[in-house]
Amino acid sequence: MPGSLEAHYQEAGRAGRDGEPANCILLFELEDKQVQQFFPGGRYPGVDQVLRIAAALRRLAAENDGQAIEQPVEALHEALPDIGTNKLRTALSLMREIAMVRRTRRGAVKLQACNAEQHADERLREAAQRYLAMAENDRDVLERMIGYAQSAQCRWRIVLDYFTTQMVSIGTSRAVPSERSRGNACASIGDELDGGVCGNCDNCLDPPTITPGPREIREAQYDTQNKQSAVRQAKSWQVGDEVTVRRYGAGVVTLASGERVAVTFPDGQTRTFISRYLRPTISGR
C-alpha cells in the first residue's frame, strides 16, 4: 500500500501510458498502516526535541571553540542517542532555515554568532510547529489512502473527488469545502464521469460483500446464547440508513453484510464496524 492517493495514482497510471487496458492491483493489509506511519513519525521532531538538539549543538560549538562542527548528525546522535538521525537532520534543516547555523561546503555546520539564544529558540518553536502541522497532514493523507482501499465505492469516483477537493482547498483555503463549492469546482475542472461511476473498476464490476470471520462468528454465537439483547445488537442495517458511531459521529451506511457494516462519513472516509456498535441517527428507526 502506498502512503497517499497521489502515489497510488502515479503508480497505477504507469499501466495506462500506452492507452491499452490494464489491471492495476493494490495489495492491502490494514497492518501496513503501521509501516507507513513509521515514515512521518520518524521524520519530524517535536518542539521539545528541537530545543534539546539546539542546546546540544550550542554545547558542541562551545567545546569546539566556535569552530564548524564536522559530521554534525553523528556528533548530535552521540550527544542525544535517544533521538533518531532523521529527526536530527530535520532539526538541522530548521536551524538553517532560521539562519541559526550555516552549512559549509564539506557538510559541517557552524553556529551563527549573531543569533541571540532566546530569539533563536522562539523562531525554532514556530518552525517546529509548522513541521508538526505537516506531520498531521501526512496522517490525514494516509487515512485517505486507507479509506480508499477499504471503500466499496467506485475507485475512479473516489480519485476524482479527492483531487477536486484538493484543488478547491487550494483555491479557497478551506480544508473541507462545502458541497456547493465542490460542485462548482467539478464544473470548472471538468468531471469525465459527469458525477457518476466508471463501471470498470473492481467495485463497479463486482460490488464487494463482507464475510464474517471466525472470531466474529464466535462472538455472534456467544451473544445469541448468553445475552437477552442479542436481537437488538444484531439490528439489520440497510444501505442509506443514517447512523451514528460514538467516536466518529454521524454517517451513512454504504454496505451491509451480516454483522459487518461500512459507513461513509461527511469527510469522505469509509470505515467498517460491527453492527451492534451503530446507533440510528434518526429516532424511530
CATH of the domain at 258: 2.30.30.140
| Residues 217 and 249 reside in one and the same domain | yes
In a domain, 244, yes or no: yes
Residue 285 lies in a domain: no
Beta strands 242-245 and 249-257, pairing class: antiparallel
Count Cβ atoms within 10 A of the Cβ of residue 278 and give its class: 0-12 exposed, 13-18 middle, 19 or more buried. buried
Q: What is the average pLDDT value for the chain, to the nearest integer?
A: 79
Q: Cα–Cα distance between 125 and 127 in angstroms, integer?
A: 5
Q: Are 122 and 36 in contact (CB under 8 A)?
A: no
Answer yes or no: do 44 and 124 share one domain: yes
Q: Look up the pTM and report it.
A: 0.48
Average pLDDT of the segment spanning 210-239? 65
Residue 156 domain boundaries: 151-206
Judgement on whether residues 142 and 30 belong to the same structural domain of the protein: yes
Alpha-carbon distances of 155 from 1, 205, 222, rounded to whole Å: 15, 11, 37
- The pLDDT of residue 181 is 47
pLDDT for position 285: 42
Structural domain includes residue 32: yes
pLDDT at residue 284, rounded to an integer: 43
Q: Residue 264 domain-assigned?
A: yes
- Any domain includes 192: yes
Q: Tell me: the pLDDT tens digits for 21-80? A: 888 899 888 777 766 665 555 567 888 888 899 889 989 988 888 788 999 999 999 999
230 and 93 in a common domain: no
pLDDT at 231: 43
Q: Are residues 126 and 248 in the same domain?
A: no
Q: What CATH code is carried by the domain that includes residue 33?
A: 1.10.10
Instruction: For residues 220 and 194, state if they share a domain.
Output: no
Pair 85, 165 in one domain: no
Dihedral of the alpha carbons of 76, 77, 80, 86, in degrees to the nearest 10:
100
Q: CA-CA distance, 23 to 202, in Å (whole number)? A: 10
Total tally of structural domains belonging to the chain: 3
Q: Are 13 and 141 members of one domain?
A: yes
d(CA 278, CA 285): 12
At which of 105, 133, 150 does a domain end? 150
Same-domain pairing of 180 and 251: no
Q: Which of 18-32, 118-132, 214-228, 266-280 has the lowest mean pLDDT?
A: 214-228
pLDDT of residue 232: 45
What is the model's pLDDT at position 272? 87
pLDDT at position 75: 92
Residue after which a domain boundary falls, among 186, 206, 226: 206
Question: Is the predicted pLDDT of residue 128 greater than 60, yes or no?
Answer: yes
pLDDT score recorded for residue 251? 92
Lowest-pLDDT range of 19-23, 59-63, 129-133, 241-245: 129-133
Do 174 and 251 have their domain in common? Answer: no
Distance of CA 26 to the CA centre of its chain: 17
155 pLDDT more than 90: yes
Q: Does residue 101 form part of some domain?
A: yes
Do 123 and 95 lie in one domain? The reply is yes
pLDDT digits (tens, 9 = 90+) for 163-216: 888 776 655 544 444 444 444 544 455 678 888 899 989 999 988 777 777 777
Q: Are residues 124 and 5 in the same domain?
A: yes
The percent of residues above 70 in pLDDT, for the chain, comes to 80
